[in-house]
Structure 1
Amino acid sequence: MMDLRLLWLMAIVMGVYQGFNPPIAWLRAVGNGLEARSSRAVLRTTSCLAFGHFMSMVVFLVPIAIVVAELPASVLSMQTIMRVGWALSLTLIGFGVFKVLRPHHPRFIARIRPDQPIRWSFCMGIVHCGSPVMMVPALISLITAGAWISTFHMSSTAKLAGATMVALILSGTMSLALFFTGSVVAVAVYRRLGLRAITRYWINLDLGWALMFIAMGLMGLLMG
C-alpha cells in the first residue's frame, strides 16, 4: 500500500505543476491584471481559476467517494482494490496517450468569455487537464487505507461524511497549491515582465502533464 503521505505530496506537486502552466493558471490572470492595471485583478482571477478547478474535482470525486463509502467492507478486499487499481491505471495511461495525440483544448472552451474564469477553469478541469481522473486512485487509497479505514466500522452517515471529507480535502489541497503557485507566477510576470512574458517566456506544459498521466498509470501497474 502506498504511503498516504506520498499521496498528499502527489496532490500538492500536481497543483504546483498546474500553477506553473500558463493556459491553466497565470496567463489569463496576467491579462486581466494588465487590462485593469491592478495586482488585485491578478489575484482575483487566480482565485477564480483555482475555485473552478476545485469544483471540477468535487463534482467528480465526491460521487466516487460516496460509492466507495457505501460498499460493504467484504467487497473492499485487497484483491478487489488491486483490480480497481489496475483498471484505473489503464484509464490513466489511455487518457495520457489521448492527450499526447490530441493536445488542443476542446473548441467550446474557446467560446467561454474572458469574464467567466470560474466556468472556464471548471470546464478545463473536467474535459482537458483531467485532474479529477488523476486523483481517483489517490482518493480510493485514502478512503480504504490508513487512518480512514476506521470509517468502515462507523454508521452509514459517518462513513459518507468521512469519505466526502476526504474528497473535499484532496480537491482543496491540489487547488490551493495551484492557487498559490499560479498567483506567485502571475504577480511576478505582471510586475516584472508584462506582455513580454507571452512572447519570450512562454512554456507549454501540456505535454508534460499528459506524460505524467502515463507515468502514473505505469507506476500503478508496477505497484499492482
Structure 2
Amino acid sequence: MMNQALPWLMAIGMGVYQGVNPPVGWLRAVARGLETNSTRAILLSTAALAFGHFLSMIVLLAPVSVVIAVLLADRLSMMTLMQAGSLAGFGLIGFGLYKILRPRHPKFLARISPDRPVRWAFCMGLTHCGSPVMMAPMLINLILVSAWVAAPSTVAPIFGAVLIALAVSAAMAVPLFLTGSAVAIAVVRRFGLRAITRYWVNLDLGWAVMFILMGIMGLTMG
C-alpha cells in the first residue's frame, strides 16, 4: 500500500489547485465582489462553491466507502479491493485523456442560475472536474490501511469508513475555499480585472494531466 499520508496530501493539493483554477475557485467570487464591493460577499461566494464541491465528493465517496466496508465485513480479501483500486486507475487515465480531447465545460452548467452557486459547484464537481472519481482509488487505500492498522484480523466499521470519506472530501474542499478566497480578494482589492487577462493560465489542461498521473498511481497502488 502507498504511504498513508500521500492520499491526504494529494487531496489537499487538488483543493489548492481547484481554488486557483478560475472557473472553479474564484472567478464567480470576483464577479460577486465587484458587484457588492464586499469582502464578505467574496467569502460567502467561495464558501458556497467549496460546499457544492464538497457535496459532489460525498455523493460518490460516501456510498463507495460503505460498499468497501461491507465487502471487508464479508471477509473479502484486502488484495481483491487493492486490485479494484488499481483497476480504477484505468478509469482515471481514460477520463484525463477525455478531458484533454474535450476540455469544454458541459453545456448544461451554463443554464444554472448564477444565484445557485452551490448547485453549480455540485454539478461542476460531478461532471467537468470529476474530483470524486479522482479520489475513489485513494479512498479505497485509506480504508484498507485504516482496517489493517486497527487489527490485521478485523475490518473498519461502516461508520469509520464514511468518516474517512467525509474527511477526504473536507481535505479538498477547505483548501479550495481558502485558496479561492485569497485569489479572489487579491484580484478585487489589489490587482484588478486587468490581471485576469494578463496572467490567465489554462489550468484545465493541468487538471486533465493530474487525472492521468493519479490513474497511474492507482495502477501501482497495490
Question: TM-score normalized by structure 2?
Answer: 0.93
The correspondence for 1:207, drawn from 205, 210, 215, is 205
Equivalent position of 1:101 in the other structure: 101
Aligned-pair CA distance for 1:196: 1.3
Equivalent position of 1:191 in the other structure: 189
Indicate conservation of the 8 Å contact 1:142/1:148, yes or no. no
Aligned-pair CA distance for 1:148: 6.4
Give 1:29-68 correspondences, 5 Å limit.
Answer: 29-68=29-68
Aligned-pair CA distance for 1:203: 1.8
Moved more, 32-41 or 194-203: 194-203
User: Sequence identity of aligned pairs in percent?
Assistant: 60
2-structure distance, mates of 1:184, 1:76:
45
Equivalent position of 2:166 in the other structure: 168
Moved more, 212-221 or 130-139: 212-221
- How many residues are paired up? 220
Aligned-pair CA distance for 1:23: 0.4
Moved more, 145-154 or 119-128: 145-154
Task: Call closer, same or farther: CA 1:88–1:195 in 2, change over 3 Å.
Answer: same
Give 1:1-224 correspondences, 5 Å limit.
Answer: 1-71=1-71, 72=73, 74-78=75-79, 80-146=80-146, 149-150=149-150, 153=154, 159-224=157-222
2-structure distance, mates of 1:159, 1:82:
18
Indicate conservation of the 8 Å contact 1:30/1:194, yes or no. no
1-structure distance, mates of 2:77, 2:57:
23
2-structure distance, mates of 1:42, 1:148:
43
2-structure distance, mates of 1:39, 1:186:
9
Moved more, 142-151 or 210-219: 142-151
1-structure distance, mates of 2:2, 2:74:
20
2-structure distance, mates of 1:208, 1:102:
14
Aligned-pair CA distance for 1:147: 6.0
Question: TM-score normalized by structure 1?
Answer: 0.93
Indicate conservation of the 8 Å contact 1:148/1:162, yes or no. no
**Structure 2: any 5+ residue segments left out of the alignment?**
none
1-structure distance, mates of 2:77, 2:188:
50
**Residue aligned with 2:23, SS:** coil
Paired amino acid for 1:153: T
Paired amino acid for 2:192: G
Indicate conservation of the 8 Å contact 1:22/1:204, yes or no. no
Question: Aligned-residue CA RMSD in angstroms?
Answer: 1.7
**Structure 1: any 5+ residue segments left out of the alignment?**
none
